[in-house]
Structure 1
């Protein structure tokens, strides 16, 4: 299995014009990344079978009711929530919708993804390279053995875990973190 960020993925990143983001008063590193490197086109990426990742045409600033800091929302993950950048720390989070509180407001649960937007974009590029190869390998194994289960073959995730760790060691440190969770057999 060859896992690397493809040239096509790198070439697909679209920088935002500086004038469109200046009014958002973003932290310097985030502003520079978004205006010099950019994000993937907004079209949906299949990162799991049930959650297409769709980047917004324009990121937007948002205060989340149950979270202290201000966030820059960059993408939707359909039923899995949103991807957002904490404006104070510049860390990337998945914001999951939890149960409603006693006032009827949906509780928002931040799940750490990466220390920076640059690391997230690199981890996504690596994941997109790996995910289809893993699905093909699973299909091949199921054709040979209908009882095949990733729960019995967790070592199949070792190559991607190692690559993610190279990009951002913190991203796979705990099982509850976004990328580590993506490497669980029930996600495929």
Structure 2
């Protein structure tokens, strides 16, 4: 029997991913009039600003060259929006506490992603490393057993859940959080 551990060899961000990371300069975000702690976060954490990554096969993330200050209708707080995900909202950082959120402006709701930009970047790098290995495993399992179901095999997500919890335990606390939802069998 094939197990997921045979496929998941490494969950650390790839060299390509690390090389795609760029920091915002304090000069470039000066006009946003941000709290000092958020300026420090934005200037010390790196993001894949000039890359085209997809969390899932057809969900590209477009990171902004310059972040944008935003308020969203019926969603509390003010944010710095740093990216747009093609099908599932925007990525924004709360000015109040520096938390990273998935924002659904058309639905007036948000979903917690990470406790900081640095933790978001590391989580994304781990996920991008996990997902192709996961896809290979699932394809092989379907070839061996056309009745294979992720609903019957939730342990498939154990390696990435553990890694995401190590990176940011708060990100994995609630079933409504972004990374927890990524590890659900109905999202593949």
Give the alignment's TM-score, normalised by structure 1: 0.89
* Helix, strand or coil at the partner of 1:71: strand
Counting matched residue pairs gives 180
Partner residue of 1:74 out of 63, 68, 82: 82
Alpha-carbon distance between aligned partners in 2 of 1:171 and 1:142, rounded to the nearest angstrom: 30
After TM superposition, give the deviation of residue 34 of structure 1 in Å.
Answer: 2.6
Determine the structure 2 residue equivalent to 1:179.
179
Moved more, 158-167 or 20-29: 20-29
- Kept in 2, the 8 Å contact 1:113–1:179? The answer is yes
Determine the structure 2 residue equivalent to 1:34.
42
Alpha-carbon distance between aligned partners in 2 of 1:88 and 1:145, rounded to the nearest angstrom: 49
* Helix, strand or coil at the partner of 1:84: strand
Determine the structure 1 residue equivalent to 2:135.
135
After TM superposition, give the deviation of residue 33 of structure 1 in Å.
Answer: 3.4
Structure 2 residue 90 is matched with structure 1 residue 125: no
Moved more, 46-55 or 66-75: 46-55
* Helix, strand or coil at the partner of 1:157: helix
Partner residue of 1:96 out of 80, 84, 104: 104
Alpha-carbon distance between aligned partners in 2 of 1:38 and 1:129, rounded to the nearest angstrom: 17
Question: Unpaired segments of 5 or more residues in structure 2?
Answer: 1-7
Determine the structure 1 residue equivalent to 2:163.
163
Determine the structure 2 residue equivalent to 1:13.
21
* Helix, strand or coil at the partner of 1:107: coil
Question: Unpaired segments of 5 or more residues in structure 1?
Answer: 98-105
Moved more, 148-157 or 45-54: 45-54
After TM superposition, give the deviation of residue 36 of structure 1 in Å.
Answer: 3.3
- Kept in 2, the 8 Å contact 1:63–1:71? The answer is yes
Higher relative contact order at CA 8 Å, sep ≥6: structure 1 or structure 2?
2
Determine the structure 2 residue equivalent to 1:101.
none
Alpha-carbon distance between aligned partners in 2 of 1:28 and 1:54, rounded to the nearest angstrom: 26
Alpha-carbon distance between aligned partners in 1 of 2:21 and 2:66, rounded to the nearest angstrom: 14
* Helix, strand or coil at the partner of 2:103: strand
Structure 1 residues 7 and 49: CA distance shift in structure 2, 3 A: closer
